[in-house]
Amino acid sequence: MKITKVAVIGAGLMGHGIAQVSAQVAGYEVYLKDIKQEFLDKGMGRIKWSLGKLVEKEKISQGDADTVLSRIHPTLDMKEAVGEADLVVEAAPEKLQLKKTLFEAFDEFTPYHAILASNTSSISITEIAKATKRPDKVVGMHFFNPVQIMKLVEIVKGEKTSDETVEVITKVSQQMRKETVLCKRDRPGFIVNRILVPALLDAIRLVEEDVASIEDIDKAIRLGLNWPMGPITLADYVGLDTALNITRVFQEGLDKHRYDPPALLEKMVKEGKLGRKTKQGFLDWSR
Ligand code: CAA
Ligand code: NAD
């Protein structure tokens, strides 16, 4: 199956990066959809910043950057976004009901051959697929933040995802110059987040219990485990709302008590301190 047109739904932290890599590395025509013009503008602004960095470092030319931008079409209209898509990659917030509503719309508006992928961090692909009449073509395509830099895509097979769909997504990921791993079973958090998120929650508990300063918790893990970022910085980088939503999925699908979120995380999200994307989280990102 030949992929030429890709729709990316959600122009946030992940969606803008997925749109950029789809247009820049894979050479696809990309439709980028969000719910408000200001979110589309912010996403396109991030893409321009990233392309600017690559031009500055002479990894691509200004002409290449212009070509990439001309391949990305921001839109608020669902039909325009997905109407001719061969592949949809959904990168809207981590809420099952929202994703189901979106997949219902994709099923209605995309050509029948189109593959419907979700960038979900933790939600069951099998559940999302139930919102469509083509569960064989619904798959997890889990990128990592920042998409432009991180090399991995986790491919997640739902109960009814066909081998052919997995094969196409593997090829698309290769076209984007990503490495892939396959989650054969659709379990909450797949591989990476099943391991990462409990570590982030425990790092927040260390802050809560005042065991060490945020600086020292991060330093300990950077120097003691060679992580590029400490876990508190990484939680801010991922988005505290996303981290909390993933935790809720773990509570429902794995163990209610083991994944009980730290009260401090709930408090920060309630206060709208979501990390880097709101410029304030555990750290101050305003500079
Ligand atoms: N586009 C283009 N260039 C970018 C970029 C982007 N989006 N983001 C960073 N860069 C560039 C920087 O500008 C920088 O360029 P210069 O050297 O010219 O300044 C270069 O990449 C390196 O970045 P930094 O200097 O900021 O620092 P770094 O070496 O620490 O790299 C990082 C940054 C790649 C983000 C690194 O800190 C890192 O790997 N952090 C951990 C990221 C991680 O764990 N991601 C996974 C999160 S979990 C997830 O995604 C799954 C989920 O479902 C929640
Ligand atoms: P984000 O909050 O940065 O972006 C979400 C975007 O979706 C926003 O721009 C929002 O306006 C838009 N949106 C909301 N409702 C929408 C709708 N009905 N239709 C279209 N767009 C809509 O979130 P994010 O970090 O980009 O996360 C998106 C998805 O990617 C989530 O499922 C998340 O779990 C997953 N993910 C996140 C990370 C990460 O590190 N943040 C990594 C991998 C996967």
Please state the atom number of ligand 2 nearest to the C-alpha of residue 143: 43
Tens-binned pLDDT, residue by residue, of the chain (287 aa): 899 999 999 999 999 999 999 999 999 999 999 999 999 999 999 999 999 999 999 999 999 999 999 999 999 999 999 999 999 999 999 999 999 999 999 999 999 999 999 999 999 999 999 999 999 999 999 999 999 999 999 999 999 999 999 999 999 999 999 999 999 999 999 999 999 999 999 999 999 999 999 999 999 999 999 999 999 999 999 999 999 999 999 999 999 999 999 999 999 999 999 999 999 999 999 98
Determine the Cα–Cα distance for residues 76 and 81; give it in Å rounded to an integer. 8
Determine the Cα–Cα distance for residues 235 and 274; give it in Å rounded to an integer. 9
Instruction: Give me the residue label for tokens 């959600």.
Output: 10
Q: What pLDDT, on a 0 to 100 scale, did the predictor assign at position 287?
A: 82
Residue type, 30: V
Task: Respond yes or no: is residue 215 known to be catalytic.
Answer: no
Residue type, 150: M
Task: Respond yes or no: is residue 119 known to be catalytic.
Answer: no
Q: Which of 13, 123, 250 to mutate to test the pocket of ligand 2 (most atoms within 8 A of CB)?
A: 13
Task: Respond yes or no: is residue 193 known to be catalytic.
Answer: yes
Q: Which two tokens stand for residue 225?
A: 């485990």
Q: What pLDDT, on a 0 to 100 scale, did the predictor assign at position 1?
A: 84
Dihedral sign for Cα atoms in the order 246, 248, 252, 254: positive
Determine the Cα–Cα distance for residues 90 and 18; give it in Å rounded to an integer. 10
Query: Ligand 2 mean position to 254 CA, how many Å?
Result: 23
Please state the atom number of ligand 2 nearest to the C-alpha of residue 242: 34
Q: What pLDDT, on a 0 to 100 scale, did the predictor assign at position 161?
A: 98
User: Does the Cβ of 149 fall within 6 Å of ligand 1?
Assistant: yes
Say whether pTM exceeds 0.95. Answer: yes
Phi then psi for residue 154, to 5 deg, are: -90, 125
Q: Which of 191, 193, 242, 274 to mutate to test the pocket of ligand 2 (most atoms within 8 A of CB)?
A: 242
SS3 string, the chain, reads: CCCCEEEEECCCHHHHHHHHHHHHCCCCEEEEECCCHHHHHHHHHHHHHHHHHHHHCCCCCHHHHHHHHHHEEEECCHHHHHCCCCEEEECCCCCHHHHHHHHHHHHHHCCCCCEEEECCCCCCHHHHHCCCCCHHHEEEEECCCCCCCCCEEEEECCCCCCHHHHHHHHHHHHHCCCEEEEECCCCCCCCHHHHHHHHHHHHHHHHHCCCCCHHHHHHHHHHHHCCCCCHHHHHHHHCHHHHHHHHHHHHHHCCCCCCCCCHHHHHHHHCCCCEHHHCECCCECCC
Please state the atom number of ligand 2 nearest to the C-alpha of residue 245: 34
Residue type, 47: I
Tell me which ligand sits closest to the C-alpha of residue 7.
Answer: 2
Residues with CB under 6 A from ligand 2: 9-15, 33-35, 39, 91-94, 98, 102, 119-121, 142-145, 238-239, 242, 277
Q: What pLDDT, on a 0 to 100 scale, did the predictor assign at position 273?
A: 98
In order of their start, the domains of the chain are 5-183 (3.40.50.720), 193-278 (1.10.1040.10)
Q: Are 88 and 103 in contact (CB under 8 A)?
A: no
